[in-house]
Amino acid sequence: MKKTFWLISLLWILVLSWCWSSLDVVEYNDNFVALVKECTDASQTLFQNFNAEWASIDSITQALQNNIVICQNTQAEALKVWDYDGDSSLKDWVVNLLALEVDYLQKFASTSRYRNIDNLTEEDKEAYNWVVNDLNQSQSALNQWFINLQDIQEAFAVKHHLKLE
């Protein structure tokens, strides 16, 4: 009877630890999803307001600076998260993705000096074209990182027996 009790207790502990581990990995993944979403939601709102008729250069500049701070804060939060079971792949990818988002927003902010200028000098046109080209390259890199994030997340999920929705 005593052996049976210990065996049942041991099995119960193993089942509970497996369930706890499963919940832990889900929470870990969801935490990073929430951090990326916080930054990207702010960016999406920014760009929707950018195209609004009521938006002024000052309001866009302020919103852009606020968005940069939001994304920098989410990146800092991501850096504080532990590596899951010695695996930093998802964390590293998210931290780098958020760094790219901040870089993109900062480059986008550098275009503000060219807004509402009717007549650009040749020097300004050249500088503007360089900034826009750099911005487009950053946007392409950022888009690729978002596409690859899904692959990283799926590989992480498989490795840690997490079913993604």
In a structure prediction context, what are the per-residue pLDDT tens digits for the chain, which is 165 residues long? 444 444 343 333 333 333 334 448 888 888 988 999 999 888 888 777 777 777 777 888 888 999 999 999 999 999 999 888 889 999 999 999 999 999 999 998 888 777 666 677 888 888 888 988 999 999 999 999 988 988 988 898 888 887 766
- In the block, tokens 């690859």 appear at 148
pLDDT for 4 equals 47
For residue 89, what pLDDT is reported? 92
Cα 79 to the chain's mean position, in Å? Answer: 12
Give dist(CA 68, CA 78) in Å, integer.
15
CA distance 66 to 87: 32
Q: What one-character DSSP code corresponds to residue 111? A: T
3-class secondary-structure state, position 54: coil
Residue from 159, 149, 163 nearest 26 by CA: 163
**What's the number of CA atoms in the CB half-sphere (13 Å) around residue 153?**
19
Q: What is the DSSP string of 56-105?
A: -HHHHHHHHHHHHHHHHHHHHHHHHSPPBTTB-HHHHHHHHHHHHHHHHH
How much of the chain, in percent, has pLDDT values that exceed 90?
33
Q: What is the pTM of this model?
A: 0.79
Which pLDDT score, from 0 to 100, does residue 116 have? 61
Q: What is the DSSP letter of 114?
A: G
CB 47 within 8 A of CB 33: no
